[in-house]
Every structure is written in C-alpha cells, then in structure tokens.
Amino acid sequence: MSKATSRRKYFVRPELQGKYILSNLVIALLGSIAFALLTAFFSAGTKVFVYRDYTLQMGSPGSIFLRELASAQLFYIVAVGILVIFLSIITSHRLAGPMVKMERALGAMAGGDYSGHVALRRKDVGKDLAEKINAVSVNLAERMGTMDILLKKMEERLAAEGSVNGNKEMDELVSQLRTELSYFTFPEIPPE
C-alpha cells in the first residue's frame, strides 16, 4: 500500500500554473463585468424600489440599483477570486505534476537510465502518455538486457577461444560494445 505524501511545493511549474490561474481569474472577472452590463442594459428605462434605512426609495437603476450591484460585485470578485485561485491551483497540479514527472523520466532516459517508472496519481492528467513512456522504458530495458546477455556470451566464447588465435579485432569490437552498453542503466533481467 502506498503511503500518502503531503505536498511540498504548491507551484511545481510556476509559469504554466500562473498563466492558468490568471486566465481563470480573467474569465471570472469578465463574467462579473458581463453580468453588470447585462443588468444595466435590461434595467434601462425602468424604476427600481429599494428598502434602505427603514425607508422605501424609488429611482432609476443607475442611481440606486447599480450602486448596490457594484458593492455586491466587489464581494463576488473577491470571494470568487479566492475560490478560483484555490481551485486553479488544485486543477493545475493535475496537469503540471505529471508533466514534471514525465520530463524527469524522459531526461533520465536521454541520459541512458531506463530503470525509472512514471507513476501518476489517480486523478492526474496524462496517464496514457505516462503508460507509453513506461512501455518504451521497459521495452528498451529488456532489449538492452538481452544485448548485455548476448555480449556476455560472446565474451565467454572469446575468452574460451583465447584472443591469441587472431581475434584481437573481435576482442576490440566486443570491448567497444561493452563500453557503449555500460552507458545505459536498466533493471536486471533474469537469465533465460
């Protein structure tokens, strides 16, 4: 059973998450402005009755209603802004977190380490891509492991024959192949 870990960083990809949060805040702000404009448009030429300070007041929407709407909109913008920021951080982690993990795995693979595995959380985005990265890593690790086994057999055969029998060129090729193969790190595959 895996142990739950607490989040250490709230912004794993600040440039991506910042743009995401800002775009969500702009959408909420534009929605608020559109609501105010639509309310003003549809209430034009009407009278508004407001009960304030124990008196009933009548007036145009611009003089009475829009002032009340502005204070309500300010509350809406602050409250919804905080909620949007909070939800944007949570949802952006579902995208940015997997991206960071996949970048690390691909960086390790580019450096020759095929032993890693991309593990994502249940609600993370990009599970299909992570599975494909893991499949490539396993496939390459298996092929490299097979090449390592075949190379060991060649080395054993050459050692049994002895390099004195004119196989110095073959010894050098095997040595170069071993050097190139040692660049890669892969999980141990049991011999067949």
Region of poorest pLDDT, from 4-8, 42-46, 168-172: 4-8
Provide the b/e sequence for 28-42 (b: ≥16 CB within 10 Å): bbeebeeebeeeeee
Query: Coil, strand, or helix at residue 44?
Result: coil
Q: Strand 55-59 vs strand 48-52: parallel, antiparallel, or unpaired? A: antiparallel
* Confidence bin at 23 (pLDDT 50/70/90): very high
Residues 6 or more apart whose CB falls under 8 angstroms from that of 167 comprise: 158, 161
Domain ranges of the chain: 14-110
Say which amino acid occupies 20.
Answer: Y
Q: Is the pLDDT of residue 13 over 90?
A: no
Return the number of other C-beta atoms located less than 10 Å from residue 68's C-beta.
13
Q: Can you give the pLDDT at residue 189?
A: 54
Q: How far is CA 41 from the centre of its chain?
A: 43
What are the start-end ranges of the E strands in the chain? Answer: 48-52, 55-59
pLDDT tens, 83-136?
A: 999 998 888 888 888 888 899 988 988 888 877 788 888 888 888 999 998 888
User: How far apart, in Å, do the first and last CA atoms of the chain sit?
Assistant: 31
pLDDT tens, 123-181?
A: 888 889 999 988 888 888 888 878 888 888 877 877 777 654 556 777 777 778 878 77
Residues 6 or more apart whose CB falls under 8 angstroms from that of 184 comprise: 112, 113, 114, 144
